[in-house]
Amino acid sequence: MAIRKIREYGDEVLEAVCRPVTKMTPHTRELIEDMFDTMYDANGVGLAAPQVGVLRRICVIDVTGEDPYVLINPRIVETSGEQTGNEGCLSVPNKTGVVTRPSYVKVIAQNIDMEEFELEGTELLARAICHETDHLDGIVYVTKVEGELHDVRALEMEEEEDQEEEE
């Protein structure tokens, strides 16, 4: 298990377009294992390779904590609907902002054996697929935020205060 350093917004590696993966190597397998370790360690639901400084088209997603996916060379081939809600990113710590995404996404990607598969997602999984594939094109969600970024801690404190008032 190896935790890699997560690059933060402002680092130019997050604005670069990533190159496709052409074949699986021990080096790339290790990268993918480390990406899962790094994502779980940071309590994230997704992580893209550029977030650990590697410009390859790979992302890992697990929105439930027990349904891990690695998407290699993912291509979104179908979207529908719309959802508007708060989004966050491990590269933008302690911040959240409102982003509108499709409510349904179909993606074609390759798995760790470089076999093509199709994944459909709704709700949080659809949002995560969009967010992570954006990273592979150098797009960080803050450029899509409607209104301002908010401090997560401030929001949590407000919620706690609201609860106290209710009691």
Instruction: List residues binding Zn ion (CB under 5 A).
Output: 89
* Count of beta carbons in the 10 Å neighbourhood of residue 131: 23
Listed in sequence order, the DSSP H helices in the chain are 26-41, 123-136, 152-166
DSSP assignment string, 80-97: ES-EEEEEEETTEEEEEE
CB of 97 to Zn ion, least distance (A): 12
What is the smallest separation between the CB atom of 135 and Zn ion, expressed in angstroms? 6
Distance CA 21, CA 18 (A): 9
132 noted as active-site residue: yes
Nearer to Zn ion, 72 or 92 (CB): 92
Residue with the two structure tokens 């933008």: 92
CB 31 within 8 A of CB 23: no
163: helix, coil or strand? helix
Q: How far is the CB of 144 from Zn ion (least distance, A)?
A: 11
Catalytic residue among 116, 120, 132, 148: 132
Q: Minimal distance in Å, beta carbon 167 to Zn ion?
A: 36
How far, in whole angstroms, is CA 26 from its chain's centroid? 23
Q: Which residue, 90 or 164, has its beta carbon nearer to Zn ion?
A: 90
Closest by CA to 84, choosing from 105, 97, 98, is 98
Catalytically annotated residues: 132
